[in-house]
A = this chain, B = another copy of it.
Amino acid sequence: MIERHLARLRLRHEISESDVALIRGAIAEVREIPAGRTLVEAGERLRVSTLVLDGLLCRYKDMKDGQRQIAELHVPGDFADLHSYTLKRLDHSILTLTPCRVAVVPHVELARITKASERLAYVYWFSTNLDAAIHREWVLSLGRRNALARMAALFCELQARLQVVALADQTGFALPLNQTQLAECLGLTSVHVNRVLKELRTRDLVTFRGGHVSIRDLAGLQRVAEFDPGYLYLERQPAD
């Protein structure tokens, strides 16, 4: 059930069987949630964190006029709001973008298992720091990449992250979003996203259609994006 989460953790860190048992024991409940459901409202007091088993979620913030900015996408294996364990309330909302299956992990359980295992405490701290690294890359994208490079960078990031949990390969992956949601990730309008997707298709780099990303030329896409996967920390972390 938590295989994808374990795959994600074990890519970077050695995780013992006793730690796996602790994680399994921390899950209070598994829930199915339809698409478009706001799991967490910004500001509400939280007492559980949400582990994504299946589906896509996002963290987003809104402006008063209704403009939305998505700050991060969450794929299976991710905790969507592990940081709520220390923050108690969040500065953003969390929304399901597709139907999701999630595991609910109460904060009291997180307290228990991180006390029981220094290793898990460390690994989960790392995990929230990885979210921050992704945020920084998005800051770079929004601040300095043009629309085409931004889109390319998003596709490169998702390809790399989904590959970790065997949901992508070199040729593509499922991405059941519409162009408006892509725009909300990229700080663009859906109209411009449409034009950019056309340009990527024309350049024979990638095709986005029917919720599927078909990569024609991954190296070319990465070149357009100036993609450097370093920020995803995909390598085994030094034991030290």
A83 at the interface (CB under 8 A from B): yes
Neighbouring B residues of A45 by C-beta, 8 Å: 238
Whether A129 pairs with B128 at a CB distance below 8 angstroms is yes
- Of A49-57, A138-146, A167-175, A212-220, the segment with at least 4 beta carbons within 8 Å of chain B is A138-146
Whether A187 pairs with B136 at a CB distance below 8 angstroms is no
Interface size of A by Cβ–Cβ distance < 8 Å?
50
Neighbouring B residues of A71 by C-beta, 8 Å: 136, 139-140
For the complex, give the distance between the alpha carbons of A143 and B69 in Å: 7
A67 at the interface (CB under 8 A from B): yes
A203 at the interface (CB under 8 A from B): no
- In terms of DSSP, what is the predominant structure of the interface of chain A? helix
Whether A129 pairs with B238 at a CB distance below 8 angstroms is no
The minimal Cβ–Cβ distance linking A106 to chain B, given in whole angstroms, is: 12
For the complex, give the distance between the alpha carbons of A138 and B129 in Å: 16
Whether B230 pairs with A143 at a CB distance below 8 angstroms is no
The minimal Cβ–Cβ distance linking A172 to chain B, given in whole angstroms, is: 25
Neighbouring B residues of A240 by C-beta, 8 Å: 88
For the complex, give the distance between the alpha carbons of A240 and B45 in Å: 11
State the number of copies, please.
Answer: 2
Question: Which of B87, B91, B130 is within 8 Å of A137, CB to CB?
Answer: B91
Whether B129 pairs with A86 at a CB distance below 8 angstroms is yes
A237 at the interface (CB under 8 A from B): yes
A122-138 vs B: 1/0 string, CB under 8 Å? 10011011111101111
Neighbouring B residues of A143 by C-beta, 8 Å: 69, 142, 186-187
A121 at the interface (CB under 8 A from B): yes
Whether A139 pairs with B63 at a CB distance below 8 angstroms is no
A201 at the interface (CB under 8 A from B): no
Whether B132 pairs with A83 at a CB distance below 8 angstroms is yes
A contact residues vs B (CB 8 Å cutoff): 42-43, 45, 59, 61, 63-64, 67-69, 71-72, 83, 85-88, 91-92, 115, 118, 121-122, 125-126, 128-133, 135-140, 142-145, 186-187, 226, 230-231, 233, 237-238, 240
Given contacts A86-B129, A88-B237, 16 further A-B contacts (CB under 8 A): A59-B136, A61-B136, A61-B140, A63-B144, A63-B226, A71-B136, A71-B140, A87-B126, A87-B129, A87-B130, A115-B118, A125-B125, A128-B132, A135-B139, A142-B142, A142-B187
